[in-house]
Amino acid sequence: MFNCVARLGWLDRMTQFKDKAGKHKERASVGLYTYPVLQAADILVYKATHVPVGEDQKQHLELTRDIAQKFNHDFDAPAFFPLPEPLIQGPGARVMSLRDGSAKMSKSDPSDYSRINLTDDADAIAQKIRKARTDPDPLPETLEGLEGRPEAKNLVGVYAALAGMTSQQVLAEFAGQGFGAFKPRLVELAVEKLAPIGAEMRRLLADPAEIDRVLAAGAERARQVAAPTVAEVKARVGLWAG
């Protein structure tokens, strides 16, 4: 139904589609082209008002707002769908590669040392942070001093996110110290915060039946929340279930 609300011009402007399709967008699949509309449905079927997203997903949320606004207008329902706002704030909103501070941390990077996987154990987490790329200069006193130092800025941001601090607070604690002093503290913090997550994930992965049970229970709860919205949308556009 949202495919009949969204406009080609809106989808043509989607940066991620243009990046993935390259110069030959006519060879790309329709599924890739309309994927942002599916994302909009995933958000609006629950009438979400705020969505935690990375900076690179902000454009998709803007499309979601456009779809919601046009549906509300076209079907004379001014406040039926909310116009969701992005939640992009604080350290950790955009975590960069451990091997290249100018590139986003990604599971598609060929180097496993570029990222921390949530299934990594304590030893793997520690080793990756120890090998993370840095520079020879000590940490500055202010955020301005991190400009032009992408790897340093990234590791300070990671520490801040894990510790529940601001990047400025981290600098206040470590100003003047080199990475020889900073990295061991970051290793300790990352292992403390992330290793338990990895342990729980490995436990779940070893028990597929438990995963299926959790997914089924979650799907049923989601279905109960979504069903009234789907029913009313069908009624408003002139379709009827069953």
Active site positions, annotated: 20, 104, 107
Measured CA to CA, the distance from residue 64 to residue 80 in angstroms comes to 14
C-alpha atoms less than 13 angstroms from C-alpha of 13 in its C-beta half-sphere: 9
- Is 189 exposed, middle or buried (CB count within 10 Å of its CB: 0-12, 13-18, 19+)? middle
Measured CA to CA, the distance from residue 172 to residue 164 in angstroms comes to 14
Collapsing DSSP to helix, strand or coil, 114 comes out as helix
Measured CA to CA, the distance from residue 211 to residue 204 in angstroms comes to 6
Report residue 12 CA to chain centroid gap: 22
Tokens 């704030």 belong to which residue? Answer: 89
- Rg, Å, the chain Cα set: 22
Beta bridge partners of residue 75, listed in sequence order: none
139 and 174 Cβ atoms separated by less than 8 Å = yes
Count other C-beta atoms under 10 Å from residue 15's C-beta: 11
**H or E element, residue 171:** helix 167-174
